Amino acid sequence: MNVLTLLINYLKQLEGVGERQAKKWALQLLYQPPEYLEQLGSLLLQLSKEDWQCKRCFHIRQQESAYCAICNDPYRGKSKEICVVADIFTLLAIEDAQIFRGKYHVLGKLISPLKGTLPEDTTIEALLKRLDEEGIEELIFALPASNEAEMTIAYIQKRLEGKALRFSQIAVGVPFGRSLAYTDALTLAKAFQHRIVL
């Protein structure tokens, strides 16, 4: 397999990037001067070594801080509500919609026996630790409508059995299995408003 085909295959692994888009990018890169490609290559290498996650919620941390802008916010940092999301894309979509003023927790992955994803492959353990430390009273699950999300919520609830915590789930108006990151602001706002108590 030549380098170009390999590159196209790599780019295709990114969410939302199809064959055509991957080819377009790969061909554009082909026409860049060697210095550009070397610089890009070194940036990608740096990225792979970068410690970019917030130590608390796994969002992108602020420069010169172990925590993200939300955890560092004097008001939001004290919130007793955590919105549990699967990925940073969803967190950013909720932030753009300006519908939530609490804190987040990014799971990274959802539990999936099919894909072999176990609870320890997610950040669930770190979430459980946060609850007492931060005096959390409510967990709001903003996860996509999927079997994996259901399994993940069930697992977290089981681990917290007997604790005085409120659980709710946003009322998802998006097709089953579709990422919340691509949901528009109005739909997300409605989903938050009509959240279901679990």
Cross-strand bridge partners of residue 60: 53
Which stretch of DSSP H or E encloses residue 37?
helix 34-49
Q: How far is the CB of 188 from Zn ion (least distance, A)?
A: 20
Token pair belonging to 44? 């990608």
Does residue 107 contact residue 146 with C-beta atoms inside 8 Å?
no
- Given the complex with Zn ion, which of 62 and 146 has the nearer CB atom? 62
Q: Does 109 bind Zn ion (CB under 5 A)?
A: no
- Given the complex with Zn ion, which of 50 and 184 has the nearer CB atom? 50
Task: Report 44-63 residues binding Zn ion (CB under 5 A).
Answer: 54, 56-57, 59
- Given the complex with Zn ion, which of 123 and 152 has the nearer CB atom? 123
Q: How far is the CB of 8 from Zn ion (least distance, A)?
A: 35
Give the residue from 172, 175, 136, 141 showing the smallest Cα distance to 155. 141
For the chain, the farthest-separated pair of C-alpha atoms sits apart, in whole angstroms, at 62
- Given the complex with Zn ion, which of 57 and 172 has the nearer CB atom? 57
Task: Report 116-175 residues binding Zn ion (CB under 5 A).
Answer: none
- Binding mask 70-99 vs Zn ion (x if CB under 5 A, - otherwise)? -x----------------------------
- Given the complex with Zn ion, which of 22 and 68 has the nearer CB atom? 68
Integer Cα distance of 109 and 117 in angstroms: 8
Integer Cα distance of 99 and 49 in angstroms: 34
Integer Cα distance of 1 and 10 in angstroms: 13
Token pair belonging to 3? 């380098």
Q: How far is the CB of 191 from Zn ion (least distance, A)?
A: 22
Residues near Zn ion (CB under 5 A) are 54, 56-57, 59, 68, 71
